[in-house]
Structure 1
C-alpha cells in the first residue's frame, strides 16, 4: 500500500465528490446523550445477527450493519448501465468480500485515495443516509443523534483530514435553532461541506414543509455566511409513502421488497422537488452566496425541472426574480450518474457546474474512480479537467 505523504497536497489530480465510508456500529451511540439511548439508534444482538433499532423500531436501511462481508466496489456496473447480457440473472452480479480497512480507517483510506490517483475525496454516509427518515417523528432524538454522529465522524475521520479526505457531517433543518448551533460547532472544527437530506423538512406530528420556509432562513444565512456548501446526497427521503399509494411498500428497504413500479413512481423526485423548493421559495434570492450540489441523484431530472420552472415563470412571473434556469446555473452543482448523457447536462447547466463522483466503494459505483474520465469523450481536455477536478475545488472553496 502506498505510504501517506507528509507533503502538502497539491490538487492537480482528479477530485472525487462522491465517496463513502461504512459506519462503525457505535457511530450513532458513542457520543449520544444517554437520555436518547432508547429513542435514537440502538445496536441489538439477535442470536448471531446484529440489527439496529431506530426509535425502538427495526431499522433496515442497510441489511447488514456490521458491513462484513460487504459488496465489492463496482460489481453492479452492468446492472446500472442497463447492459446485463441476455440470459444472465442480474442478481448474479452481486459479489461480496471481507470488510476492507480503508472503508473504516482514515489512514488506510488516505493511502488508497493516493493509489487511485486522486487529489482528494468528499466522504458521505452509507447507513446514515436513512437515519433522518427513521427518526423524523421524534425531532429531539433526531437532532441529538445527528449531533452525536457528527462528533463520531470528526473523531474517526476528521472533517478535513490531511487535505485529502473531507467528511461531510449530517445536518437536519428539523429544529432550526439547533441546526444553527450545530453549524457553529462544525465551523470550529473546520468543516468544508455538510450533507443534507433532499426531502421535505420534518416538523413533527407527521407534518413537514419546504426548505424555503422563513423558519429556515437563519440556517441558510449561517451556511452562506460561513461559506459552507451543501451536498444533497441520495438517501431515504420518505418518498416511499407516495409509492405506497400505488400499492408499493411504504418503507424504503434496500435489497428487500423491490417494487418495479415504486422505482418509477419515486425515481429522482426527491432531488427534483428539493431544488424546486429552493428556487420557487426564493432561498437563493435571499442568500445569494449559497452553493449546493446534488450528489448521487443522477441528472435527468434537471431537464424536466428547468422546463417546468420556466413554464411556471411564464404563467406567474411575479413569483420569480429571474429566469429559474439562471438561478440553477449560478447556485447548483450536479454530480451525474456516470452512465448518463453528461454532455447534455453540461450544455444545460454549464460545464463548470458538473462534478465527478464515483460512489466508491459502493457496488453501484465505479470499481476504479478515475474511470469516470472514459465517459467524457465529448469534452476537450480543459473541460475534462474542470469536471474531474477544478469544479469540485470551486464548490468546496479550495484554492487551486
Structure 2
C-alpha cells in the first residue's frame, strides 16, 4: 500500500451506511402486517429482530448499541494481522449515543465535511437481510420494503437540495407489478439510485432470474429515468449452498464461522447476479440501464468474463451482442480496498471503477480518503485516473455531466 494521496477536489463515496433505528420497518407498517413483517421484541435487556415470526440473526444486536468502531477490522481483511495477535482483539466498540452521525442526517453531513466528501450513496445495514427472511411471504415483503422506503426518505432523504446524501430505496422484484409501483413511487420522491438485492428473485411457485422478461418494466423505467441500480452485498440466500456441505443455512452477522462457507460462497451471489443480467439479455433489451456492484469486491469480474466468453462461444445464436462488452459498458465496480485496482483497470477500464469506503462499518475504512493509498500512483495511474475513481465515474453513473459538476 502506498501513502494516502491528497486531492484537490471533494470525493464521492458510493458505499456509506446508516444504522437503522428500531422503528425503520415499523414506523409506517400497516397494523395488519405487524406479525408478518419486521418486529423488534425485547426480552429483559436483549432486543431481538423477529421477521416473518422467526427470530432473525442477520444483525445479532439490532439496537446497534454498542456499535463497532469504523475500520477496526482493517488488518483482518488485508490479511496483515501481526503474528501472535488474536483476531478477536481487533474488535472495538463505542456507544451509539456518542455517534449521532450514524442515525442522523444533519450530523452526518458535518462528518462528510470533515472527511472531504461531497456526496455519498447511503446504503442499508440491517435492511440487507430482510428480503431473504421474508421470501416466503411476498405480500409482506413488498409492504415491508415500502414502509422502509417511507422511513428512509423521511429520515435521510432520497435526494435533498444539498445533494450531499443520496439514500438508496430498497426495491424487491418479488411481485413484478408492485415492483413497478414502488419504482414509480421512489422516482416521484426524487430517488437518484435504487438498491436491489443480488440474488434470485423470490416467486410464489419458484425463484426467477433477474433477467426474466417479467421484470422488464422495472428495468425499462429505471433506464428511462437514468437511475442506476446498486447491487449491494446482502443475505442472498446462498448459505443454502453451504448447507449442502454440512454448514449453516441461515446468515449470522458475527460469531464463529466455518472457513469453508467463505470459500464456497465468497462473491458467488454477485457473480451470478451479473451473469443473469447479461446472459438473460437485460442490457440487450435495455442498453441504457446502468448497474453498480458495491461491497462485493472485484475478483468475480475475472471469472465472469472467462465464463461469458465460453458461453458466447458455445451458444453464439443466443447472444445478440458481445456479453463481455456489455459488462464493460453497463456495469460499474466498487472494489474492496484490498483488491488489485490496477488489475481491475486493465480488465474493465478505469472509467468503470468506483470508490467506496464502507464507512462506518468495522470492515471498512476508518478514514474514507485513505482509499487513495490503495490506488496506484503515477505513472501507473495518472492524476486524471485517480479523479475518475474518486469522483468522476460516480458522476457518470448518475448521468451528471462531469465538466458541469467540476
TM-score normalised to structure 1 length: 0.96
Structure 1, unaligned runs of 5 or more? 1-10
Q: What displacement does 1:257 show?
A: 4.4
1:388 aligned partner: 390
Instruction: Confirm or deny that 1:170 pairs with 2:194.
Output: no
2:37 to 29, 37, 40: 40
CA distance in 1, matches of 2:46, 2:400: 43
User: Aligned to 2:203, what secondary structure does the other structure show?
Assistant: strand
1:208 aligned partner: 207
CA distance in 1, matches of 2:392, 2:37: 39
User: Aligned to 1:293, what secondary structure does the other structure show?
Assistant: strand
2:251 aligned partner: 252
CA distance in 2, matches of 1:57, 1:204: 20
CA distance in 2, matches of 1:159, 1:217: 23
Greater displacement, 194-203 / 376-385: 376-385
8 Å contact kept, 1:234–1:297: yes
CA distance in 1, matches of 2:9, 2:230: 23
Q: What displacement does 1:175 show?
A: 0.5
User: Aligned to 1:344, what secondary structure does the other structure show?
Assistant: helix
User: Aligned to 1:50, what secondary structure does the other structure show?
Assistant: strand
User: Aligned to 1:248, what secondary structure does the other structure show?
Assistant: coil
User: Aligned to 1:203, what secondary structure does the other structure show?
Assistant: coil
Q: What displacement does 1:51 show?
A: 0.8
Cα displacement string for residues 302-360 of structure 1 (whole angstroms, at most 9, x for unaligned residues): 00000111011111111112221100011000000010101111111110000000000
CA distance in 2, matches of 1:255, 1:186: 32
CA distance in 2, matches of 1:339, 1:292: 22
Aligned-pair Cα RMSD in Å: 1.0
CA distance in 2, matches of 1:95, 1:12: 32
8 Å contact kept, 2:328–2:349: yes
Instruction: Confirm or deny that 1:158 pairs with 2:160.
Output: no
8 Å contact kept, 2:47–2:62: yes
8 Å contact kept, 1:249–1:257: no
CA distance in 1, matches of 2:168, 2:345: 25
Instruction: Confirm or deny that 1:22 pairs with 2:19.
Output: yes
1:131 aligned partner: 130
Greater displacement, 303-312 / 314-323: 314-323
Instruction: Confirm or deny that 1:112 pairs with 2:111.
Output: yes
CA distance in 1, matches of 2:73, 2:255: 16
Instruction: Confirm or deny that 1:85 pairs with 2:87.
Output: no
2:5 aligned partner: none
2:93 to 90, 96, 119: 96
Matched pairs, number = 389
Greater displacement, 248-257 / 301-310: 248-257
Cα displacement string for residues 133-192 of structure 1 (whole angstroms, at most 9, x for unaligned residues): 000000000000000000000000001132100000100000011011111111111100
Q: What displacement does 1:397 show?
A: 2.0
User: Aligned to 2:24, what secondary structure does the other structure show?
Assistant: coil
8 Å contact kept, 1:136–1:204: no
Greater displacement, 223-232 / 145-154: 223-232
8 Å contact kept, 1:43–1:50: yes
